[in-house]
Structure 1
């Protein structure tokens, strides 16, 4: 499939994937552009990879993870992020309001948002989340515990419950 044909077929898929994960049009547009620039670079390599919509969505996932890593580094430079290791029930065990959950996810720090999105929205196993975030599996598991706790607390505040 020629790159231009693939572009036409994949653009809605890639943009939709990114927009649903980050919730910001301008960011999704930028990351979509980065994804297709990466495809152009890949086509120039010998031998070129087998391009497909799935391959482009995988590239988009990496671009989004890269963005979250950059944002987390910037945020760490501005403030110390604290988290608590919650041993409460997992919020994914109960029914969540999707709109509230999206808003709560957007409030979290980029490192928590990245970990939760990759693990629960994309359904990646912890080892692959760790790979995307350039962390060890154990560090990623700890990050997920803190991220779930932060999500749980923020969701409860939104719902008007005591934390």
Structure 2
């Protein structure tokens, strides 16, 4: 009787049974008090992917550098690859991102971990190049001198 009442009038009848009647005669697992809900489509890993550190940062051994699906970032010197394509450091040093073109002509990024000494020499070479360009105004003075020499001849 209680089940027929619930089937006819829905949740309101069930609430009345809770207040006034014997609820224990009805099994609560049969009563759809909440509606049907969808389920997740699978365990996707798209929320926390991407590089975790910028170029020049100090890293330690086994520190996760890039989380990715597939090989968007390629492993370079001092980099290990996990089963889910996660890149991690194999030794301590500084993080370097290098832009290359692969054999198909696509632009790719290679991640390296280099030692502190190599990083400092790389920075010194970069600064020296900037100073040399500043002295010649980025090669403008050299081109003007060449034009003057060609006009004098």
Q: Same-fold call, TM > 0.5? A: no
Give the TM-score taking structure 1 as reference length: 0.19
Higher strand fraction: Structure 1 or Structure 2?
Answer: 2
Greater relative contact order, per chain length (Cα 8 Å cut-off, separation 6+): 1
Q: Which has the larger radius of gyration?
A: 2
